[in-house]
Amino acid sequence: MTRTKVAVIGSGNIGTDLMIKVLRHSDTLEMVAMAGIDPSSDGLARARRMGVPTTADGVRGLVDLPGFDDIAIVFDATSARAHIANAEVLTARGKRLVDLTPAAIGPMVVPAVNLTDHLDAPNVNMVTCGGQATIPIVAALAAVAPVPYAEIVASIASRSAGPGTRANIDEFTETTSHAIAAVGGAGTGKAIIVLNPAEPPLIMRDTVLALVDAPDHASHDAIRTSVAAMVDQVAAYVPGYRLKQQVQITPAPDQILTTAPVTHQVSVFLEVEGAAHHLPAYAGNLDIMTSAALRVGEALAAHLAQEVAA
């Protein structure tokens, strides 16, 4: 079977882990190039050891690599600001982009929620690590009862937050908050990220707090069933994704700043353990991004193959 040729821009932790996932775990994607801007980066060195052509001249260097014209999909694991410039160069050359930064130029995609909705878009955005972990839960709640408000807290090990993550904190909160509503189905969303300096490093923990109109035991049971089914869907491509404890449903607080009907608060506690392909197991925040991006890349490749066949 002919595999779809792909490249990665960004030779940091996320880009390197994604490259390894493509090389070792994808039957439909072929890793043919990695681009970075630091000639001495560990990511570029590892790519060369694994036989992947590299350039340290960024997106311009990628364009000049032999075989660039054959690349169909480019994963961007740089930064929100860099992605804007990268997208201008690559979209003009007909490349499909999977954006792992919080730039959110293109439609936001969370595989367990809307994988097939934007396969024709030239640039799809993977939201954020916190978004990938929590938006499926918000969507599971919204599938059962109205969710006027949802708030998520993503706690990650400080060691797993590299320069790119730290430079994008503002974009993280803005993009995730927007996606909680636009993709998850909440009326309003809020996102908080915590860099936990604990030693030894703790694995990623995510909390979803949502106000819902779920007045009776039947709706409570439906919520728990919907959340459990969604956790299974995400775990299909992120094996370390799991509920930390049973879903909690309690009467809504007395003071609620919403005009929508609200009867209960739902609290969902999650844990994301990394697969340790390249990154430590505690870096579930990075692993969920690369796993989700790989899932989207493979769906895009299948869609492109169908277009060619047609």
- Cα dihedral 69/1/16/24 (nearest 10): -160
Does the structure show a pLDDT above 70 at 255? Answer: no
- Catalytic residue of the set 110, 129, 183, 208: 129
Instruction: Give the angle subtended at the CA of 158 by the CAs of 199 and 270, to the nearest 5°.
Output: 90
Q: What are phi and psi of 44, to 5 degrees?
A: -65, -40
Does the structure show a pLDDT above 70 at 293? Answer: yes
Q: Kindly report the average pLDDT of the chain as a whole number.
A: 95
Q: At the topology level of CATH, where does 129-281 sit?
A: Dihydrodipicolinate Reductase; domain 2 (3.30.360)
Residue 14 in marked binding region: yes
% the chain with pLDDT above 70: 98
% the chain with pLDDT above 90: 91
Q: Which CATH number fits domain 4-126+288-309: 3.30.497.10, 3.40.50.720, 3.40.50.300, 1.20.120.1200?
A: 3.40.50.720
Give the model confidence (pLDDT) of 126-149 as tens digits: 999 999 999 999 999 999 999 999
- pLDDT at 163 (0 to 100): 82
- pLDDT at 227 (0 to 100): 98
Does the structure show a pLDDT above 90 at 34? Answer: yes
What are the extents of the domains in the chain? 4-126+288-309, 129-281
Residue 125 in marked binding region: no
- Per the model's pLDDT, the better-predicted residue between 134 and 307 turns out to be 134
Residue 223 in marked binding region: no
Q: Which residues of 189-210 are buried (b: 16+ CB within 10 A; e: fewer)?
A: bbbebeebeeeebbbbbbbbbb
* Residue 247 annotated among the catalytic residues of the structure: no
Nearest to 194 by CA among 159, 153, 162, 165: 153
Residue 160 in marked binding region: yes
Does the structure show a pLDDT above 90 at 310? Answer: no
Q: Do domains 4-126+288-309 and 129-281 have the same CATH topology?
A: no
- pLDDT at 254 (0 to 100): 74
